[in-house]
Amino acid sequence: MKRSQHKNFALAMLLTVGMLLFTPYTCNTVSDKHANWSMFMHDLQNTGYSPSAAPDTPHLLWIFDTEQRLFGSPIVYNGTLYQVGRGSLFALDAETGGTIWSSELPVIGSTPFVTGESLYVGTCNGIAALNSKTGKPIWQVQLADFECDPWNDDLSNFIASSPIMTNTGVIMCTHRNISASYGYPNPEGINRVVCLDSETGTLLWQHPLDDRAGYSPAFIEGRVFINSTQLRVLDDETGQQLWSYTDAKGLYDTSPVIDHNAVVTISTDEGSVYQVDITAQELLWKCDLDSHVISTPAVHSNRVIVVTIEETIYALDENTGSVLWKREVHVESNFSAHDVLKNATASFNSSPAIADNKIYVGLRSGTFLCLELDTGEILWQYETKGSIIASPAVADEKVFMASTDGKVYCFGIDPETYFQKAEQYDKQGNTEKAREFYMRAKDYYESQGNSEMIKKCEKKLNSRRYLWVAVVLVGCMIICAMVVYWKMHKSNKSR
């Protein structure tokens, strides 16, 4: 390499480092801010986990009053929140809580499923498809031969399952909310799994069950998982049963959860949690709890989060089933949850949601809780004036929940906590999110005129910039050394 070439190379390196040093530091990364929660328990595996950032404090953004008791869980898709009421379906702006549209529909407790411009939701005695942007009906199919009045306080007479959509079609369990074991005889043939054409509602296949099923199926790689008297696995295309796990019985009040090639399922009768290998079809572990469970567990970060009807939360090790921590969270209320729910208290309980290393869950006593995932420490709570039966949704960096007081609540990240969240992400080694929240904190404090915090944000951002420059500089020096070595080696060989 000639002397002039060495000079040019060195000059190029200096220019590169200078540009990195003095170019304004901007955040152009795309976080999981707009992660959807478009179905019951977030995804087709029912994990209950969202990658979205989530609030550390009960920073209430808005409340929407439906003036109807709410049992179905909210979902969020592309900035729109969908909430089932008593005979109504609401579409709200997730940012403001403003009404986009509402539709009269015989619905009570089913959680909708949204994909593209189509929304599917269980009705009192069937299923309906609507345009998700306008609320206009596409088709409606009756699946059970009984009358249903969504305003009747006898909550035994409606289909409680939530639909999913697979490669074949829309799949839903059809069963009466309260089975014969509670003194309500079921119409013949009502307990089954059905698959309908997503565009027309035409029945593609059905699979009979011997009792009611869990609230929502799970799906993975062409297989449909159903909780009923036992765990059943069906072929997505035909509805034929592929295999079943019969040792776990009485699974009908929860939905199966799939994670890491295993399915977690809960026996309502026994109060036991099972994990079954879905390839070997063998039991991996079983954990016996102190109480019955009627809510679907959430799974993330090698933890299985289970809420019992005694309002105790367990964190289990996903690999072994051992109890990592246990927290009793029963909160006394000023009203009777049994009176609010009439005869259906044993049929509902909020399932937990996991996001941003936190657990969000509602209690029948009307309290909404946020807990730390690793320890179970209660971070904050919020009181409503009704029972919380619906499961929360986490999307767009917000937490949404519904109560039987008729209100939908939206909690968001307080701008005052942006800097603290950035520091949390720093400690976790999540540099992209840390950088994003330092930038948000800086923008917020600039709007507030807080010069002290602006300097703190800039110090954090600049330290990261100089670290990045140092990495680049070291890389350039290594490349330069390799080039010089190669040139010297080549020159020696030519002599």
> Which residue from 345, 368, 347, 366 is spatially nearest to 358, judged by alpha carbons?
368
What tokens appear for 202 in the block?
């035409």
Question: How much is the pLDDT for 180?
Answer: 42
Question: How much is the pLDDT for 206?
Answer: 94
Mean pLDDT within 3-13:
54
Question: How much is the pLDDT for 247?
Answer: 84
- Homologous superfamily of domain range 49-413: YVTN repeat-like/Quinoprotein amine dehydrogenase (2.130.10.10)
Instruction: Give 98's contacts (C-beta < 8 A, 6+ positions apart).
Output: 92
- How far apart CA 171 and CA 118 sit, in angstroms, is 14
Question: How much is the pLDDT for 378?
Answer: 95
pLDDT over 90 at 74, yes or no? yes
- How far apart CA 264 and CA 248 sit, in angstroms, is 11
Residue pLDDT, tens place only, 359-396:
999 998 899 999 999 999 999 999 999 999 999 999 99
Residue pLDDT, tens place only, 96-141:
999 999 999 988 888 999 999 999 999 888 999 999 999 999 999 9
Split at pLDDT 50, 70, 90, the class of 313 is very high
- The residue with greater pLDDT, 185 or 309, is 309
Share of the chain above pLDDT 90, in %: 53
- What is the chain's mean pLDDT, rounded? 84
Domain ranges in the chain? 3-30+421-494, 49-413
Instruction: Give 442's contacts (C-beta < 8 A, 6+ positions apart).
Output: 454, 457, 458, 461
Look at strands 353-355 and 49-50 and give their pairing.
Answer: parallel
